[in-house]
Amino acid sequence: MWQRFLRAAAGREHDVAMSSDHGRATFAELTATAQHLSRWLARATDPVLVVAALPSGPELMTVQLASHAAGGVFAAIPPTLTGHEAARLFQLITPDVLIVPTAAATTPLLEALPGPSTIVCLEPDATATGLHRRVSGAALWAGELPPPPATRAVDWPAGTRSLQFTSGSTGQPKGVLLSNDNWLADLEMSAEHFSSFAGEAVFSPMPQFHAMGNALPLELLCHGASVHVCNQFMPGEHIRRMRAERCTAIAASPNYYKLLLQFGALTAAAVPGLRALTLGSAAIDRELIAALRQALPAVTMHCRYGLSEAVGALARWSIPPGSVLEHPGLAGRLLPGASIATPLPLPNSDDPGELIVQTPTAGVGQITAGGGIAPLLDANGWLATGDLACVDEHDRLHLRGRRSSFLKHNGYRIHPGEIEEVLRAYPGVQEAMVLGVADPLAGQQIIACVEPLPGETPPTAAELMAFCQSRLSRYKVPQQFLSFEQLPRTRSGKPDRPAVLARVAQ
């Protein structure tokens, strides 16, 4: 991937490669800083696990590129993790190097580290502390540091370059291992799509610690495009930056487009050079496509369906100017190189099958607690996606929902088990159930239902809200809290999710 980036940067040295709401870097600057950092990482005797807890922007991309160049393993995590969330994540891994903006801004994260790490603070508030070696970014750039330690706590599969975190089926973080070959296969499979943006500027508001938000900027840079990211939702400022950077495309989650449309910010007059939108989602939202078409009649809309267990997109469907989406649930055609294990029924079927695929972009493993590696694929190389799907006579995928109970809120994929675990820890709460209720703007609203211990006064919504806010990221905090004297239960005594949902919907 590093060599692919260098080839794309050649001849564009003085062009802006990446900007954010707090800085910008040309291709030459991004190359130089990544090369400098990679030389330090390469001095280690073993592959280094580099975890970046940085805002989206050139600094985070520098770390990602440097890790690729040095043959290390890179992971991006939110700099705003709470101590509770960080402790869960660090059950899986301990970083060899943790890069943060400042120690003060990431105190809960640093306090949750279970073992010794080298902490690089990009701004000068660095002091030695406890088990950890804390160094400044200035010392790093000056070449004054000894080689970083590599703990060998994980026996990385050959060629591993990325550790991609997502929610697992139990609510625990799941770490997917992606290899250099996975990344190169993604570039090859999506070359036709991304090469159309060579030399252009693309606005990408997705956080870089998310799967698509992490892959997309590197995909674009490796095809010679400039990428402009952000860290706060400020519609007016975003439109101003798009105009100033002469962006011809936006790549975002469906919810981002819904919000821009709600604010009336996304129009042909507001961004006159806009020619393309990319939507990262599962099934394509026909109502959203219709609203975007009304606001932007001349743009092409590229809809990409991908998996957290792989790099980039698995399927894509492009909607040209003047057209709208034909069928609800359409996800597009599989990209070249991907295949389906068994034939799936036609879209008119009442019994869709699980989508099981084979693709060279699928991860090489999944990290487990204690540094073990579990396979993602079965013995024949097939990946069960958990999505229910059909295939029409034109070989197009139509998605029909998930086998699991993940929630989608404002573009985030959230497992209710993590929130339920927090609620059960509140004094006086015996049981909790978290549900998603359809919302036209957010995708789903998160509703928390709690059952107090017998004889206990139910906690108030304000008390539960404050408790969740202290232990969860903002996007995981439920929007509504309901108390039940007793939650409906199945014959086995477990909370009955469909019955609770029916009660909530009344």
237 contact partners, CB below 8 Å, separation of at least 6: 21, 230
DSSP string, 88-122: HHTTT---SEEEES-TGGGHHHHHT--S--EEEES
pLDDT above 50 for 170: no
Name the burial class of residue 426, with classes exposed (0-12), middle (13-18) and buried (19+) by CB atoms within 10 angstroms of its CB: middle
* Domain boundaries along the sequence of the chain: 2-159, 407-505
For residue 152, name the pLDDT band (cuts at 50, 70, 90). low
- On whether the CB atoms of residues 411 and 254 are closer than 8 A, the answer is yes
Q: Give percent of the chain above pLDDT 70.
A: 95
CA-to-CA dists, residue 238 to 16, 43, 255, 281, 493, angstroms: 17, 40, 15, 21, 50
Task: Return the CATH architecture of domain 407-505.
Answer: 2-Layer Sandwich (3.30)
pLDDT above 70 for 151: no
Which of 356-360, 451-455, 488-492 has the weakest average pLDDT? 488-492
Question: What's the predicted TM-score (pTM) here?
Answer: 0.86
For residue 490, name the pLDDT band (cuts at 50, 70, 90). confident
Using DSSP's 3-state secondary structure scheme, residue 268 falls into: coil
Q: What is the pLDDT of residue 173?
A: 75
DSSP-H helix ranges across 122-168: 137-141
252 contact partners, CB below 8 Å, separation of at least 6: 203, 204, 205, 206, 277, 278, 279, 280
CA distance 458 to 449: 11
Q: What is the pLDDT of residue 169?
A: 42
Q: What is the pLDDT of residue 172?
A: 67
> Cα 317 vs. chain centroid, distance in angstroms?
21
- On whether the CB atoms of residues 70 and 96 are closer than 8 A, the answer is no
DSSP state of 191: H
CA distance 396 to 24: 40
CA distance 164 to 111: 22
Which fold does the domain 2-159 belong to in CATH?
Rossmann fold (3.40.50)
